[in-house]
């Protein structure tokens, strides 16, 4: 076996596992334990669906302008509610970090920080109410309970699968599950809105100037993570992994017997 073949079968899976494991652990833990600032319309949608309790005036979680601080994971719930038509309005501004009041979007593995996750039809820019003729996700997610369940499921999946990749245990399964997570994120945030609006370039790329990093950066990040996850599905964990210890070596021992 040549040096390049050895590196391909040993080093490459390890690098992929470490990069993806750190990325998804960071993303999942951030959703679970960090907070973000929601605009008034977003907070109202979450409160109406009993996902959060609207903090009272003077509370640390009630900010100027009616903005509310809550866990980042509720950004996924908000996206599902609006995607299913369960929210009264689409997000009017990107979520921002709870640690500062800047207007920069809150970024994550793609589940947050994208404005307008459903498609507005017959819309007047002066209207505060938004009406939708098509939805991104099934109406099942229009209920607050289901939106919360799937938001936390995505969060926990990132944490558990990310840790599994770091340890190299059940690597192919973890890689496949995370590829589904990233595919869903891409549909909800970048691909789906453009497809439903009939504005997608080449049938699937987000609408806009394709040479503008602001248009494609999130989509390309999501695609890169999805592709890396699928590579691990094909290659497996590599030699320095619990998969090798628990499964390959055990199989070899059983064959010798």
pLDDT digits (tens, 9 = 90+) for 4-27: 777 777 789 999 999 999 999 999
According to the model, what pLDDT value does residue 195 have? 86
- Crossing angle of helices 171-186/144-167, nearest 10°? 140
Nearest to 197 by CA among 186, 208, 207: 207
pLDDT of 32 > 90? The answer is yes
Instruction: Return all residues near 194 (Cβ < 8 A) that are at least 6 apart.
Output: 200, 201, 204, 205, 206, 207
- Residues paired with 68 in a beta bridge: 38, 62
Residue identified by tokens 């309970």 is 145
According to the model, what pLDDT value does residue 134 have? 67
Instruction: Return all residues near 208 (Cβ < 8 A) that are at least 6 apart.
Output: 214, 215
- Residues paired with 205 in a beta bridge: 201
Nearest to 117 by CA among 83, 144, 141: 83
pTM of the model: 0.77
Residue identified by tokens 């929601």 is 38
Sheet strands side by side (includes 35-38): 68-71, 35-38, 96-97
Distance, CA of 157 to CA of 3 (rounded, Å):
36
């Amino acid at each position: 076996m040549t040096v390049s073949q050895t590196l391909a079968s040993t080093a490459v899976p390890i690098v992929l596992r470490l990069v993806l494991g750190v990325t998804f652990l960071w993303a999942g833990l951030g959703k679970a334990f960090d907070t973000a600032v929601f605009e008034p319309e977003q907070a109202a949608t979450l409160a109406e669906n009993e996902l959060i309790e609207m903090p009272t005036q003077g509370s640390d979680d009630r900010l100027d302008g009616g903005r509310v601080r809550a866990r980042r994971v509720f950004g996924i719930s908000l996206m599902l509610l609006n995607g299913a038509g369960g929210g009264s309005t689409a997000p009017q501004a990107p979520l921002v970090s709870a640690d500062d009041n800047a207007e920069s979007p809150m970024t994550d593995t793609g589940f947050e920080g994208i404005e307008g996750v459903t498609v507005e039809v017959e819309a007047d820019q002066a209207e505060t109410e938004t009406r939708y003729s098509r939805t991104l996700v099934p109406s099942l997610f229009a209920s607050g309970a289901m939106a919360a369940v799937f938001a936390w499921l995505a969060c926990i999946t990132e944490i558990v699968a990310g840790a599994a990749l770091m340890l190299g245990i059940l690597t192919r399964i973890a890689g496949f599950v995370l590829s589904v997570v990233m595919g869903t994120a891409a549909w909800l945030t970048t691909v789906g809105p453009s497809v439903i609006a009939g504005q997608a370039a080449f049938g699937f790329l987000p609408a806009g100037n394709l040479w503008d990093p602001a248009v494609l950066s999130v989509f390309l990040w999501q695609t890169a993570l999805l592709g890396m996850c699928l590579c691990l599905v094909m290659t497996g964990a590599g030699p320095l992994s619990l998969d090798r210890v628990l499964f390959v070596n055990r199989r070899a021992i059983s064959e010798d017997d």
